[in-house]
Structure 1
């Protein structure tokens, strides 16, 4: 089983915000493959399972808020016996321009609190990531920026992000190695 985790914050006030890019990608995948989310309160997550490209997958949106994502993901990995190499995490990245993605096989949290939580709970930095660009706020408040919604003139870049991230995940599910994916998408 492949586990695909999108990072974000739960609640309608966060819908469509830059920090919820991981949730948006997961929602698009679920829609395109007609998978329905259910709330798993014991695991603190919204999950949807099914077959994508011939592989059993579990889509995960932690309901713990971004900064505690690992608290949800680790128990799910343990319950479903998912090894770290079958985990991919999708998250926003303000150091990438809107409309661009970057795949990373492992690494530090680089200041991203959702990744910090995952690294802490999983005990490793060695998990696959799809970093989705949201642009940098410049001198504006980072918190206000990442919790802000996309503007009308950013919609084309947003749609590019969603499509690129979904295609990268589909290729990974089909068995393309992560090294090959990084060469293709980075």
Structure 2
């Protein structure tokens, strides 16, 4: 996406357990396009690994020092941090991966709170990496059909924290059907 395209419109984020994709539809119309986020996307594909590493948790300034930069998506892979996941010693506590599954889960636990913090930081860094001259008028976030009410609430809460006037949730099968280019009103069976 270039700066000329970064004018309002609609932005859709499909936060996945393993990968995340972002699509933009300009306010002037036209088909939506998957966005390649150069700093975070995997290779030339518009796919962003759903990975985050924050040296100092990136949530607060420690000892009056500024926030440490986080590594997002492919940066985590290139730093070799993903290789630590299945090998001893355990991965660093600052590595967030597969956090979507725990967001909004009940009962509340330290794991759930950590997953929600990682998800929020991931979305925040992703949002800041997009080249907006004018932020989108609408943000669409996807949610699994069987998502906990807590996950949907979390999406709404964190979507509301972004500077966008309209926020919508779409279930993932509907988003997939829309993304496949089916015309409105088509009958779709999702298995």
Bin the TM-score by the shorter chain: 0.3 to 0.5
Please give the TM-score of this superposition, normalised by the length of structure 2: 0.34
Higher relative contact order (CA 8 A, sep 6+): 1
Higher-Rg member (1/2): 2
Please give the TM-score of this superposition, normalised by the length of structure 1: 0.35
